[in-house]
Structure 1
Amino acid sequence: MNQAIERINEEKIVAIVRLDSIEHVDRLAQSLYEGGIRVIEITLNTPGALEGMKKIKQRYDDFLVGAGTVLDGENARSAIEAGADFLLAPTLSKETIQVGNRYGVPVIPGVMTPTEALTAYEWGARLVKVFPARSVGESFAKDLKGPLPFLSVMAVGGVSLDNVSDYFQAGWHSVGIGSSLVSNDADFDEIKAKAMNFITKRDEIAIKQ
């Protein structure tokens, strides 16, 4: 398995950053880092997203930095050239996966059905993102892996501090957390505190298992 996918599996939590500006991306990354987060995704519909990725990678050696909302091969190539460690997409695009495969950068496409999940796997994706996960519930990963046990599944969309433990207990590979963790109106101390709370939930489940 790709090293980035293995790292996401170890960390379990991907912070999804979708902002109006990357003006304070350094301080935001610091807050997440101090809160225990080690995997971050900056969506490409955030103005200056690629520059923000570069800044974080330059400052932190052990931050895994990915690009989100990657819609096509052109987006994928630009993100890879900017140093993205992984790519997340809201939909299933063969072109996007092929570009990632060409450069050895894992693409995590968004899927909603077993057919889409299997198609993504056949195209080379080794981790798929169920989005929005709130629409299918916490048991979906287990149900999906019944006939398709080789799939790894990330939950994105609706994951919060109230239900993240349910996703971990239900066997999801990892979770992506957006507005419940990072938002335009949250201050940096608040983001750090939220990050710490999510990490605590993750570690509690690890101890139980």
Structure 2
Amino acid sequence: MSNQGFSWELFEQTPVVGIIRGLSLAQIRKILPLYQESGFFTVEITMNTEGAAELIATLRQEFPSLNIGAGTVCTLDDLQLALAAGAQFIVTPIIAEELFTPCKELNIPIFPGAFSPTEIYKAWQLGASAVKVFPSTALGVGYIKDVLAPLDQIKLLPTGGVTKENISEFLEVGALGVGMGGSLFKKDLLDDLEGLEEHFISIKKQLKRGLLVG
């Protein structure tokens, strides 16, 4: 599949990477129209989801105006599968150095996972489009603020522990955006589409508040 480019304009409008893990195509087909209508544009399918490559390829065709990427990419095999399926961006939980060059050559954004300031700086030097600070659950907003004090040129994408209640705070302290999985695609709302849409809209409102202050 030809790889229409990742839209930074759409991502910056709503800087959330929605992380879909372990859902079926039928479930995703119900969720993504609501996601898009609520003003979200970027979603990753994790490569440890059953049939991930086929899901990515199908979603690229059915939702051409969304950024559809691959997450949990840890090896070159994962990367090749994801790119062949048409993934428009790559997310990793780790720094896998061999993934950077192919992504740079193809102009595919890569968001590698890092935790310590040393790892974050290394990922940025290797050519990260933004560094996924993972997991952010334990250290929270204060950690992002502290890291950005000396490393203010690095774009950070905290992931893990980001919720409706704290999303605006992450943006206010200078994060480029956030990654959200279970707190965005809440399991107890997957069969309540009206409730899920209300949930998306409420997160979008909090995010707007953070963007205005940040």
Q: Normalization by structure 2: what TM-score?
A: 0.88
Q: What is residue 201 of structure 1 aligned with on the other side?
A: 206
**Which consecutive unaligned segments of at least 5 residues does structure 1 have?**
none
Q: What is residue 189 of structure 1 aligned with on the other side?
A: 194
How far did residue 144 of structure 1 move? 1.6
Q: What is residue 165 of structure 1 aligned with on the other side?
A: 168
Write the letter of the residue equivalent to 2:33.
Q
How far did residue 150 of structure 1 move? 1.6
Counterpart CA distance in 1 for 2:129 and 2:177 is 13
Write the letter of the residue equivalent to 2:62.
R
Counterpart CA distance in 2 for 1:207 and 1:121 is 26
How far did residue 111 of structure 1 move? 0.4
Q: Does 1:107 align with 2:110?
A: yes
RMSD: 1.9
Q: Is this contact kept in 2: 1:20–1:184, CA < 8 A? A: no
Q: Is this contact kept in 1: 2:172–2:213, CA < 8 A? A: no
Counterpart CA distance in 1 for 2:112 and 2:83 is 16
**Which consecutive unaligned segments of at least 5 residues does structure 2 have?**
none
In structure 2, the CA distance between the partners of 1:4 and 1:110, relative to structure 1 (3 Å rule), is farther
2:141 maps to which of 135, 138, 141:
138
2:40 maps to which of 32, 37, 40:
37
2:88 maps to which of 74, 85, 89:
85
How far did residue 129 of structure 1 move? 0.4
Write the letter of the residue equivalent to 2:20.
V
Identify which range, 111-120 or 140-149, moves more after superposition.
Answer: 140-149
Q: Is this contact kept in 1: 2:172–2:211, CA < 8 A? A: no
In structure 2, the CA distance between the partners of 1:118 and 1:207, relative to structure 1 (3 Å rule), is closer
How far did residue 142 of structure 1 move? 2.6
Identify which range, 183-192 or 7-16, moves more after superposition.
Answer: 183-192
Structure 1 residues 132-162: Cα deviation after superposition (integer angstroms, max 9, x where no partner): 1122220222322222222000010011111
Q: Is this contact kept in 1: 2:120–2:131, CA < 8 A? A: yes
Counterpart CA distance in 2 for 1:57 and 1:63 is 8
Q: Does 1:15 align with 2:33?
A: no
Identify which range, 35-44 or 137-146, moves more after superposition.
Answer: 137-146
SS of the residue 1:135 aligns to: coil
Counterpart CA distance in 2 for 1:135 and 1:207 is 26
SS of the residue 1:66 aligns to: strand
How far did residue 3 of structure 1 move? 5.5
Q: Does 1:46 align with 2:49?
A: yes
Q: Normalization by structure 1: what TM-score?
A: 0.90
What are the equivalent positions in structure 2 for 1:54-93 lying under 5 Å apart?
54-93=57-96
Q: Is this contact kept in 1: 2:137–2:161, CA < 8 A? A: yes
Counterpart CA distance in 1 for 2:54 and 2:28 is 10
How far did residue 38 of structure 1 move? 0.8
Counterpart CA distance in 2 for 1:144 and 1:91 is 18
Counterpart CA distance in 2 for 1:117 and 1:105 is 19
Write the letter of the residue equivalent to 1:25.
I
